[in-house]
Amino acid sequence: MVREKLYSGKTCLGTFLTIGNTDVADILKHLGFDWFVFDTEHSYLSTFDLKAMMQALEGSNVSPIVRIGQIDQYLVKRALDVGSEGLLAPLVNSAEEAERLVKFAMYPPDGVRGAGPGRAARYGLNLTEYYGTANRELLICVQIETKEALSNVDEILATKRIDVGFVGPTDLTISLGLGTDRSNPKVIEAMQKVVKSCNDHGKIAGTLAATVDEAKKFQELGFRFVSLASDSRFLVSGARTYLSGQ
């Protein structure tokens, strides 16, 4: 489980999957990633896509995590019941929103999640076991990607059962009025603020790196839940490399 690895002090590397084909997950699972985020916010992945792609991960050590489109009880329920081991929620700007996410993700008495025997509980075959461990093992990540979130970061990350404060570098850069200048010193300063808040509250700092150099730099800043680009970026980068060599 990636949550256990993170709290043991390890850096865990993953990537975002946006292409709705089981072969993508099946191919990439062999390369040593710790986790995949199945992105339902900015891609076209359906619940059926999620189910099939998670099935392709069976037998591997890769943890499936779903980025939901918004903090919505139905979306949380669908992501978890299909077998996700974690949630990534975008645009979390307040402690109240973080608390609502946790409430939707947790079974009673910690939350209001309904006990539906879906794929996560092996269709009811191990419902008791899953019900007994899910609240403890689920990885809950919130995205800090706006000026408002940055100003409220301590309150957000103080929320019980939030595990990862995940910086969305591009959105945060735009929100700070800096266009797409991700390397701007103001962006780095903002990212350092999130890392400090994570450390202060015993949480994990996460982010997405667009390049190898960014990945190294972000890890030096203290980020330990790091996405190495995405499947579509790998495709474009690989094709460009081949074309440039002709």
Q: Mind telling me the catalytic residues?
A: 42
Of 13, 14, 87, nearest in space to 50 by CA = 87
Is-contact 83 64, C-beta < 8 A?
yes
Single-letter amino acid code for the residue at 63: S
Helix residue spans in 11-163 (DSSP H): 22-28, 47-56, 73-81, 95-105, 127-137, 147-151, 153-157
Residues contacting 148, CB < 8 A, separation 6+: 93, 94
- Distance CA(92)–CA(111), nearest Å, equals 18
142: which DSSP letter?
A: E
162: which DSSP letter?
A: -
Of 204, 193, 215, nearest in space to 140 by CA = 204
How many other C-beta atoms are found inside a 10 Å radius of the C-beta of residue 46?
Answer: 12
Single-letter amino acid code for the residue at 84: S
